[in-house]
Structures are given as C-alpha cells and as structure tokens.
Chain A
Amino acid sequence: MKKVLFLSALIVIITLVGCSNNSNTASTGNNPAGTKDSAGAGSGPDTSDKADAADKAGNADKGDNADKGDNRELIVAGQEIAASLDPVKPLTSSYLRNIGAAEALFKVDAGGKVQPELAESAAEVDPTTWEIELRPEARFWSGKAIDADAVIASLERSKSLDLQAKPFLEELTFAKKDDYTLQVKTKRSHMQVPLNLSYYQTVIHNAEAKHDAIGTMDLTGMYKVVEFSPKQKMILALNENYWGKKPVIQRVVYEEISDEQTRVLSVLSGRSQVALNIGTTSLAQFRDSKEAKISATPAANTQTIYLNLGKPQFEDVRVRQALSWALNREELVILAAEGESIPVSTWLGSNPAFAEAKNAVYIKFDPDKAAELLDEAGWALGSEGIRYKDGKPLTLRLMTWGGDKALGEALQNQWTSVGVKAEVQHGDYSLIQTARESGDWDASIEAWSTFGDELTLLTGQYAPEGSANYGGFNDAETNQLLARLAEESDGAARNKLALQINERVAGQAPVISLFPRPQITAVSGKLHGFQDHFRQFENTVNANLTLDSK
C-alpha cells in the first residue's frame, strides 16, 4: 500500500515539475507551445533568434515595468484572438489591426470619416479612376518599402484568398502609375474607393513573406508580433522603424480570455487594462468601481429580426408590418441592452451617414395599429389572447444565439401582447444555420454591419442573390431601386436612393430593425487616451495610449 501511495505521489510531483517547466518556457516565450509549429515550419535559425531576442527584450521590459510601473506594458483581454498570423485568414486582420500590428491604406475615424492611413492621399481622376498616393517613408517591419507593387500584391492576395475581402475588392482593378502612386479602376462610376480600402480585410501585408510564423510575417503596424500562441496570447513590441507617430506604451499583451465574467474580473483586479466584448449583464459591476470604467458605443450595425417569408403566416405584408409596429424599441433597448443603445426603426438607421433613417416608417410604438393590421389580415383575436386564422394560431418561433437571449424574451413578451403565439429558441449559431438550410425556421436575429458602400450593403441584404437575404425577399420595386443605385454616379443621389431602398424594405418588412448592438469595453482608470469608436473591434490600441504610474 505504501509503495502505491509513494508511486502516486511521485507521479504527481513529476507531472507538476514537468508541466511547470513547460509552462515556464511558454511564459517566457523562448519556445512557446503554440509558436513551435509555425516558427519551426516557416523559419530558419535566424528567425527564431530574432523572436527570442524580441522576447528577451520584452521580458526585460516586463521586469522594468513591475519596478517602475510606467508605460511599458498594456494588457488587453479579448474574447478571442487570432488562430493564425496570416491576414487573409478569416478575422485575423481584424485582430491584428485592433492591436496596432496591421494597417490598411485608409481608416475610418470615430466620426465616420475616411482618413488616410498608409496612403498619403486619394483623388478621383474620373468617374471610374482613382489615384492613391503612398507614403515613401512607410516601411514594412522587414524594412521593405511599401510601394505601389507591394500594395498591389497585397490587395491581390487578399482578393484571391480572403472571401470576406471580396465585397470590398471585387469591383476594383489595381495598376501602378509610378513607384508610389496607385491607380484604381472601378467597375462602377463614383465608387467610394477609400472607403472600400479602409476595411480590415484590406490590410497591407508583404505578399512575398510567409505569414505562418512570427519571424517571417511582415506587416506595417506600430507594433510587431514577437510571441504568438494561437487562441491564447499574442505579445507585441514596439516597431522601432515605424513611419508614423510612435506609441508611448512599449509592449502590448493581447490575451484570449473567453469567459466574459473572467474578463470583467481581470480588469477589476487591475491585471488587464482593457477588456473587450463585455455583456450588458456585467455593467452593474462597474457602477461603483474605482478601478475601471465602461466605454459603451453603439456599433454601426443593426440588431435585426429576419423573417422567413416562405412561411405562410408571413406571406401577408400586413402581418410583417404588424410585428414591427407592435415593438416598443425603447423598452427593448432597456431590457436587452441596459439602455446602452438607441432605438432604430429601419436597417440603415445605425449608420452615422443615414441618421434620418433611425426613426423612419415605424415612427412610434403602436400596438393598436399592429392589432388593426392583424385584424385586416384575417387574424382574429381568440378568447385566450392568441390570434387565429382558419383555425390555426398565429405562431412565431424566434431563434436567438449568443447574448441575445434576453432580447428574444423581451420580443416574445411584446408580440404576445398583440396576440402572437411567440416562442424563443436560444442556442448555438449552427442551429440557426441548419434551420435556414432546411427552411424550418420562422425568425432569427442577426446584426450585420451597416457601414460601408450603400450598394454593397443593401445588395447583400435585400437583393435575391444577397448572402444575408435569409428570408428570400424578392421585391420587384426594391430590385429596380437597387439597379438604379448601381448606375447612379452622383453622391447625393446615391444617398437619396439608398434611403429610398431602406424605406421601401422597411415598409415591406422582410426584416424588423431594433437597435444597434452596443459595444461595451471595460477600460482601466489608469489608461488614458482610449478612444470610443463605432468600430471598436478594430480600434482598441492607438498611439496616444498612456498608463498612469500609480
């Protein structure tokens, strides 16, 4: 018996010692578990050394930081970090840009205006041609010039390998005018090329480099990746050769902490200075906190209920309109977003450029009008408060996912009050995907971005071939308006047409718009210079961030 106990204790001790060695290695970054594959596969000894040197520098900084408590290290806790280093892999460029490692030619500022980033300027030469001046002083991390050839190679690589870059690049053709001037030909007249080239999917990377290891990847940002453990941690050190304003904070640690409550506790404990994607249910924890504050900005996207128009109960437009009139959006914002958003009655309303669409068509909460429309459509109120037509109840099964459970329940409550037998099915997003494929769904919630080129956005949502036209909306008038928008070259006229399409769609109600999804970020009281942005997910780190030494 003693032997067995001794043996067990020995095994436990050996495991602990073995694992602690392993974890120590990972934490110092000399040979992190996750980077072993990539660094080993794609790089020679030089690369490893380079990474090691950077890591050592980083660790030295970390030590100093503990002593001095100055601007050496910023820790950001995110729900998810990249699984790959290659900017053309899904969402990787978003994470890289968010943390200051990647840049595009242009960037949208907090006010919604497109500003030059890696580009110096842009000018429309004729209705289908733009010229973009590049910055001769700008360099990749490797020191290679960011000239016209390099930019074209990067954009072509994104176009061919990243499906999500397609909406922004498919109608553009790039040519070199001179070393630092890019000529862009557009398929349509007066396309907003700088806007298209501001999306994170278009970040400029060295197309000749291998983006599978920290030693070989080559981007342009103010921070360089010096350690990477996929889906765990990314450490970035200052890019000493950065062309623009150098950040004050020397080192950034971007950690994946998938549990929302743990991210909240991480900021409250003072361990991290920024925690991304905080849910509305956690807001109360920050009310009296001296350690951290909340940054809540409505995103340029609209929480939208997509209706399956193939279902018989939604064939009649009056039923769909009634469902929209029956909603008290202000109450929904309070119940489902803790008041951290604004009601929006049409889809484009969450886009800062279409502020007038916020309160269009469904100008107020009107349950009487909803009841009237349902009566007109033949859905009579039964004795138990449910509406019937031909002996069948008016049912609606709403599928929700992620953090939308509370929203689903609030909607269920409001629809039930006008006689709709509503039920909520909350689950994994894949359940919604599967239901859509089989056609066995009534309604689901999703929030697509409303910021960008109007035609691309509206076509994606409401054209019969649009990938987000889940309900099968096919309205001749809307299609005609979309065709006109595609032909329209004048900016003001395009804006007007977009609003017209938006209004037409709201009237036909294949979807019901609710409010922009709030983006909530917890920010340490010691961090200064954090900027609220309607696209916060790609604007967390900026060059003006500083940390209190206290």
Chain B
Amino acid sequence: MYRMLLRKLLEAFVTLFCATLIIFALIRLAPGDPVQLLLGHPGEAALSDKQAFNDRAAGLRAQLGLDQSMIKQYTAWIHNLVQLDLGTSIHTGRAVSAEIVARLPATAMLSAAALLIQAVLGLFFGTVSALKAGKSYDNAIRLACVALASTPAFVIGLFLLSLFAVTLGAYEISSEAGLSRLWLPALTLGLIGAPQLIRMVRANMLSEFGRIYVLSALSRGLSRERVVKHALRNALLPVITMIALSLTSLISGAVVIESIFSWPGIGKYALDSILLKDYPVIQGYALVMVSLVILIHLCVDVVYALIDPRIHRKREAGAEEHV
C-alpha cells in the first residue's frame, strides 16, 4: 500500500513538472500581449505619440520581467513556485495565490453541490431506468438524457435563469456567492453532468441483473428490493470512481456556468484572465487545476484499493510472486 502510494506520488511529481512546461509554453504561444492590453484600450483618444506608448510598454514589460528570455522567465516562475508563490496578477497587481484562495471556496461549493445533485440524479434515474428497461419510463429517461447531453451548458443555464429569476422571481441575480444563490447554478451543473452517470448506472445495473447470483437469489425467493440492493452495491464501484473523477471536470468545467450565473469562482476569474492574457494568473490557475486533478486521481486510487479487496490482494500476490 505504502509502496503504491510512493509510486503514485512520484508519478504525480513528474506529471506536475511536465505540466509546468506545457502550461508555460502554451500560454506564451497564444497570440496577444498582456502589456498592450493593459495599456491600450480602444474607445478613448489615441496617443499622438506612438513612441511614448512604446517606451511605456517597454518599461512595463521590463518591470514585469516579460522582456527576459523564455528560459529565464520559466526558471523565475519555478523558483517562485517552490516557495509556494504563484506570482502577481499583471492586471490587478494582487497575489495570484491570494486571489485563487479567495475564489476557490466558491467554486468548491458549487462543484460539491453539483456533484451531489449529479450523484443523486445518476443513482436514482439510472436504477429506475435499469429496473424499467425497455419500458416507457426507461425510454423517457434515456430521451431526457440525450436531450440534456446535447444541449449546450449556456442554453440550459440561461433557460433556468430566465425561468427562475424572471418568470418565477425565485432567484436573485447578483455577483455574490452564498447558499441562497447556490441551488440554481448547482442544479444546472448537476443536470449537465447527470446524463453520463445515469447511463453508466443503468448499464452497470443491467449487467449485474444478468449475473448468476441475481438469478439464484431470485429463485431462492429473496425479495426484489433486496436483490436490487445487492446489485446496486456491486454496480457502485465504477460509478464511485466516475463520480470522483467528474469532480475535476466540474471544477474546471464550471467556467461557463460561473460566467452565466455571475458566480465569483475560480473559473470566472480564469476566463477573465485568459481574455486579458494575464500570464501569472493563467499559469497559477492551470497549475492548481492540474494539482487538483492529480490529487483527486490519487485519492481515487487509494479509495479504490481500500474498498476493493481484490485490488489489494492482487498487489500483495504480485509482490509475493515477484519475491
């Protein structure tokens, strides 16, 4: 177990290092100059002296260290990272780590609530769909899944926002994060992620229903509810993995929903920074996301090993054979 954990940690470290390289290079390959975006803004009077603008831009570029070679910029970034310093936002002049820490709870709250909704919807409708396979309930659920999965997130979000905020007056549009404002973006995000889970639960349940132990249990006179409970328990293992992994996609995929619901999370912050080419923020955001994905995958591996004795035993057996 510890050996496995150590190996996974080493893998995580290598992945993280590769990620820093890719993130750094990709951001700088994208078109756009953050300094020009910061200094120049179409709409007001253009400068009568282009040279003054260029001089100021050059000064700011030097101040931000953007005039140095890519290698120097990268090493400076890594040097700061080692000291847990993600740098300073070009646009706001604030520490990126502080900005991310301030916004991460809002995203975590949204993702956790959406995950809960997704899990409840997935387990309930997936099981119902499997139990009523081929019948009208099943067809209706599958149709709803296809409709939800094929509708863009922003359409669902705006439809629900219009319905609950304007028509029903049951939701307040504002830029604050709070429990009273959580339910609608969480519901939207949960609805977007639910179809995949419903389909997976349905498929796993149907697979379990076809197994011999189910048939023998039924032939021995066990109640239908008890058999379903046993089947669900066995079908849950891959589903739990999927739920855990979908947390990463919920966190990173909340960008659109956060923007529509004006939810002050990390996704909206990242989106604004991408538009402004705010390198330190984009780098910081991407790195935090990569770290989160690695951490969640690591946790899933550990939990998987803990809850499935076969995996644990296989590893032990493998180790003994090797010896």
Q: Do A and B come from one complex?
A: yes
A16 and B176 contact, Cβ closer than 8 Å, known pairs A23-B106, A467-B46: no
Q: Are A4 and B178 in contact (CB under 8 A)?
A: no
Whole-angstrom distance between the Cβ of B245 and the nearest chain A Cβ = 13
Q: How far is the CA of A229 from the CA of B32 in the complex (A)?
A: 27
Q: Are A16 and B262 in contact (CB under 8 A)?
A: no
Q: Are B32 and A431 in contact (CB under 8 A)?
A: yes
Interface residues of B in 87-113 (CB under 8 A from A): 91-95, 98, 102-103, 105-106, 108-109, 112-113
Q: Which residues of B contact A448 (CB under 8 A)?
A: 42-46
- The answer, yes or no, to whether B39 is at the interface (CB within 8 Å) is yes
A447 and B176 contact, Cβ closer than 8 Å, known pairs A20-B109, A257-B262: no
From B51-59, B141-149, B284-292, the one touching the partner chain is B51-59
Q: How far is the CA of A91 from the CA of B92 in the complex (A)?
A: 12
Interface residues of B in 190-247 (CB under 8 A from A): 233, 236, 240
Q: How far is the CA of A53 from the CA of B231 in the complex (A)?
A: 60
Q: Which residues of A contact B95 (CB under 8 A)?
A: 37
A164 and B46 contact, Cβ closer than 8 Å, known pairs A261-B158, A265-B166, A272-B173: no
Q: Which residues of B contact A514 (CB under 8 A)?
A: none
Whole-angstrom distance between the Cβ of B229 and the nearest chain A Cβ = 11
Q: Are A466 and B179 in contact (CB under 8 A)?
A: no
- The answer, yes or no, to whether A446 is at the interface (CB within 8 Å) is yes
From A330-338, A366-374, A452-460, the one touching the partner chain is A452-460
Q: Which residues of A contact B112 (CB under 8 A)?
A: 11-12, 15-16
Size category, A interface: 35 or more
Q: Are A91 and B240 in contact (CB under 8 A)?
A: no
Q: Are B262 and A259 in contact (CB under 8 A)?
A: yes
- The answer, yes or no, to whether A262 is at the interface (CB within 8 Å) is yes
- The answer, yes or no, to whether B316 is at the interface (CB within 8 Å) is no
- The answer, yes or no, to whether A301 is at the interface (CB within 8 Å) is yes
Q: Are A167 and B175 in contact (CB under 8 A)?
A: no
- The answer, yes or no, to whether A269 is at the interface (CB within 8 Å) is yes
Q: Are A430 and B45 in contact (CB under 8 A)?
A: no
Interface residues of A in 171-227 (CB under 8 A from B): 199, 201
Interface residues of A in 433-479 (CB under 8 A from B): 433-434, 437, 446-449, 452, 455-457, 459-461, 463, 465-469
From A110-118, A230-238, A375-383, the one touching the partner chain is A230-238
Whole-angstrom distance between the Cβ of B120 and the nearest chain A Cβ = 11
Q: Are A460 and B175 in contact (CB under 8 A)?
A: no
Whole-angstrom distance between the Cβ of B183 and the nearest chain A Cβ = 11
Interface residues of A in 247-269 (CB under 8 A from B): 255-259, 261-262, 265-266, 268-269
Q: Are B169 and A163 in contact (CB under 8 A)?
A: no
- The answer, yes or no, to whether A19 is at the interface (CB within 8 Å) is yes
Whole-angstrom distance between the Cβ of B232 and the nearest chain A Cβ = 10
Q: Which residues of B contact A229 (CB under 8 A)?
A: 264
Q: Are B42 and A84 in contact (CB under 8 A)?
A: no
Q: How far is the CA of A337 from the CA of B105 in the complex (A)?
A: 40
Q: Are B33 and A433 in contact (CB under 8 A)?
A: yes
Q: How far is the CA of A256 from the CA of B268 in the complex (A)?
A: 11
Q: How far is the CA of A18 from the CA of B236 in the complex (A)?
A: 28
Q: Which residues of A contact B50 (CB under 8 A)?
A: 465-467, 469
Q: How far is the CA of A233 from the CA of B262 in the complex (A)?
A: 11
Q: Are A446 and B42 in contact (CB under 8 A)?
A: yes
Q: How far is the CA of A166 from the CA of B47 in the complex (A)?
A: 8
Q: Are A466 and B178 in contact (CB under 8 A)?
A: no
Whole-angstrom distance between the Cβ of A272 and the nearest chain B Cβ = 7
- The answer, yes or no, to whether A492 is at the interface (CB within 8 Å) is no
Q: Are A301 and B43 in contact (CB under 8 A)?
A: yes
- The answer, yes or no, to whether A393 is at the interface (CB within 8 Å) is no
Interface, chain A (partner B; CB < 8 A): 1, 4, 11-12, 15-16, 18-20, 22-24, 26-27, 33-34, 36-37, 75, 77, 83-84, 89-91, 163-164, 166-168, 199, 201, 229-233, 255-259, 261-262, 265-266, 268-272, 301, 428-431, 433-434, 437, 446-449, 452, 455-457, 459-461, 463, 465-469, 537
Subset of 29 A-B contacts with CB under 8 Å:
A1-B236, A1-B307, A18-B105, A19-B105, A20-B178, A26-B177, A27-B176, A27-B178, A33-B102, A33-B103, A36-B102, A90-B39, A168-B45, A255-B174, A256-B175, A258-B272, A262-B261, A262-B262, A266-B173, A269-B173, A270-B169, A430-B33, A437-B33, A448-B45, A449-B45, A457-B45, A460-B46, A466-B48, A537-B43
